[in-house]
Amino acid sequence: MEYTAQQIAEYLHGEIIGDPAVKVREFSKIEEGENGTLSFLSNPKYSHYLYESNASIILVNRDFEPEKEVKATLIKVDNAYESLAMLLSSIEQLKPKKNGVSALAHISPSAKIGINVYIAPFVFVGEGAEIGNYASIDASGYIGENVKIGENTQLHAGVRVEKECIIGKNCILQAGAVVGSDGFGFAPANDGSYRKIPQVGNVVIEDDVEVGANTTIDRATLGSTIIRRGVKLDNLVQIAHNVEIGENTVIAAQSGIAGSTKIGKKCVLAGQVGISGHIEIADGCVFGAQTGVPNNVKEPNSIMQGYPAVPVGTFRRASVVYKNLPDLQRTVNELQKQIENLKLVLGNTKH
């Protein structure tokens, strides 16, 4: 389908700079823009691509002012990146959705399947499971006993949801995600071995959550591991037993949260962040890449980095010192030599 700049601007409540009749049929990156495509610019450091791009329409932030002539028609919006997401979502929703249950799927007779559900070949749905309206489960998915899947939730290929777990509405679980595997619970015995502690709780994922590919969320020992509404988990994230993650928190790839930790609302964890167990993180905290958090963070909206985690300003100052350590070591060695020489001189003077 083709859309004019006028149609797009009306949908986004944007301001057109250029030809309102120009049409686009697909999207492109700004540096690879071609005639008939729509692109966007949200980060000013990439603005040089704007003047070279052959895209027909480019979304820009409302406060952006070009420094020279632009070939494309511009649409000024409050937030170019968010507006692009709105357009992509709208077009995605127009695509026809699959529905129907494959004859190659195994559905327990006691399972409840909603209307317009899609269940692909080689999916297993266990006893007492409930699949909400318009949900979809791609090939080789596993839905355990008494699992509940909310309306319009998408489970991509190979997702495993173990028994008793609950997933809300409008969630997306990317390929290979595992929800409800046993938590890492073992009791040390007197002979040095470890006795497994049965994990009899579950996982509760609220509405509008996205779980990345090959991410694992362990079931609680007792009670529930809870992922609150709007949380976004990247690929390869590990969430341990009895963890609770607050609403709209975002966690990037290869991060790990140890057992029984509670993370507040609207926190941001960059890649490879590690959070110790049995601690609490206040709302709005931000942790830079590879940060290790061994203790409670009680101050909301803290921005921290390093191990152990310290305020980001302290971390940056310490990084400067760290880079200068070889020079500092040489200076210390030289000062030590001078002190020894002074001791010899003073010793000889006394005699």
User: Cis omega (within 30 of 0) on the bond before 308?
Assistant: yes
* Tokens found for residue 237: 């994230």
* Cβ–Cβ under 8 Å, residues 57 and 71: no
Is residue 212 within 8 A of residue 231, CB to CB? The reply is: no
CB-count exposure of residue 320 (10 Å: 0-12, 13-18, 19+): exposed
Cα–Cα distance for residue pair 19/22, rounded to 1 Å = 6
**Sheet with 57-61: strands ordered across:** 15-17, 73-77, 57-61, 37-41, 26-27
Q: Residue 91: CB partners within 8 Å, gap ≥ 6? A: none
Identify whether 48 is a catalytic site residue.
no
What is the torsional sign of CA 323, 325, 326, 331?
Answer: positive
Task: State the catalytic residue, choosing from 13, 106, 241, 351.
Answer: 241
Q: Which residues are catalytic?
A: 241
